[in-house]
Structure 1
């Protein structure tokens, strides 16, 4: 397992490279907040709210929101409100959403709980690398809670979206500029 240690697309999140089907597990005891079992992302619109594809969020016992996206599948029966334990399988790593043309990976974001309509917060507000390193090295007690609180105090509870916010415009043909097809009788 490897992960990027830099801002990706200007976002403080991590892409954790792992084989398709590897387990995405709860990083902490908590409660499932959101579950998306369907990948709604379309390359022609590239809507920010859909970029993570299939995903699960949990609110940890530390009050932090953890996001795992680009999943191949979500654990059967996993629903919002379900209590989960650290290490419990939440899904299988894949390449759904805007990761369709990449190797399997886990989109991992850390933020604070908000209404799902504020998807740009869900996708990551705190750089996760310090915490990923600590957890990988056996320090399961290091929580991003204080860092999350500091960032939230700095940017506000509902900051405006600043990166990859607007979907691509849908191209529709302009009938005024359409060429007449051959054989349509136009002179």
Structure 2
């Protein structure tokens, strides 16, 4: 998806497990890392197919190096992608308030998996969000960010818990469980996964980039259909145009 491209609206569908009234109320109030939305979102409701693949994490050297401004690489070997929430009942929408990202609504405890092969960059196992504190740095609550082998960073937050063994520097495979859907952080007490796609930039700590810079819905739609559509080129284009912002 190139810069400026709009994600097409998707017809409203019914999700029996998560009434639309509750979801729209959540978006109106602002959820996760977001502020109140200006647009009425279009919802996608889907089952995600096969369950997450099993397997233990394998430790590797933690990523190092200074912040980079180089864009993510488009790997010669076609990477595999997996829908991030492995449950039969999950809803998401093509818009997000304030910045590009996606909120995937599912039951608390539903498995969250690595969307592609890669190495864990950051893990937050403690929910330090405080409504009286600054909005932004701690909004995600319990969270995991992953550097995919495609050079793209993937971020999931508001988790109930992070899977044992998932730590910075650990290598994971596409479909490997990394946590569970929850409502930690600034999730407005609604179970969902905040999902962001971004360039690696500072690797850790740069929450204003990590939370998401391109619209994920196009890729979520493809991964749900088991189509390995990569966001690497779109992320690279975004970074070439904007670099790595050093502040929100």
TM-score category, normalised to shorter length = 0.7 to 0.9
Residue 91 of structure 2: aligned partner: 2
Residue 74 of structure 1: aligned partner: 162
Displacement, 1:7? 2.3
Tell me how far apart the structure 2 counterparts of residues 23 and 55 of structure 1 sit (CA, whole Å): 13
Tell me how far apart the structure 2 counterparts of residues 117 and 80 of structure 1 sit (CA, whole Å): 13
Residue 99 of structure 2: aligned partner: 11
| Cα RMSD for the two superposed structures | 1.1
Tell me how far apart the structure 2 counterparts of residues 102 and 145 of structure 1 sit (CA, whole Å): 33
Displacement, 1:121? 0.4
Residue 147 of structure 2: aligned partner: 59
Residue 148 of structure 1: aligned partner: 235
Tell me how far apart the structure 2 counterparts of residues 159 and 152 of structure 1 sit (CA, whole Å): 13
Once the two structures are superposed, residues 122-148 of structure 1 have per-residue CA deviations (whole angstroms, 9 ceiling, x without a partner) of 000111010000000110x21100000
Tell me how far apart the structure 1 counterparts of residues 219 and 241 of structure 2 sit (CA, whole Å): 20
Does the 8 A contact of 2:121 with 2:168 survive in 1?
Answer: yes
Secondary structure at the counterpart of residue 186 of structure 2: helix
Cα pair distance change 1:50/1:131, threshold 3 Å: same
Q: Which runs of structure 1 show a deviation greater than 3 angstroms over 4 or more consecutive aligned residues?
A: none
Displacement, 1:160? 3.7
Task: Say whether 1:83 aligns with 2:171.
Answer: yes
Tell me how far apart the structure 1 counterparts of residues 125 and 242 of structure 2 sit (CA, whole Å): 31
Flag structure 2 segments of 5+ consecutive residues without an equivalent.
Answer: 1-89
Tell me how far apart the structure 1 counterparts of residues 151 and 120 of structure 2 sit (CA, whole Å): 12
Does the 8 A contact of 2:96 with 2:103 survive in 1?
Answer: no
Displacement, 1:158? 2.6
- TM-score under structure 1 length normalisation: 0.81
Once the two structures are superposed, residues 80-106 of structure 1 have per-residue CA deviations (whole angstroms, 9 ceiling, x without a partner) of 01010000000011000001x332000
Displacement, 1:159? 5.2
| The structure with more radius of gyration | 1
Does the 8 A contact of 2:197 with 2:214 survive in 1?
Answer: yes
Does the 8 A contact of 1:46 with 1:98 survive in 2?
Answer: no
Tell me how far apart the structure 2 counterparts of residues 40 and 159 of structure 1 sit (CA, whole Å): 23
Residue 226 of structure 2: aligned partner: 138
Tell me how far apart the structure 1 counterparts of residues 158 and 152 of structure 2 sit (CA, whole Å): 20
More strand by share: 1
Once the two structures are superposed, residues 37-71 of structure 1 have per-residue CA deviations (whole angstroms, 9 ceiling, x without a partner) of 01111011143110011000000110000001000
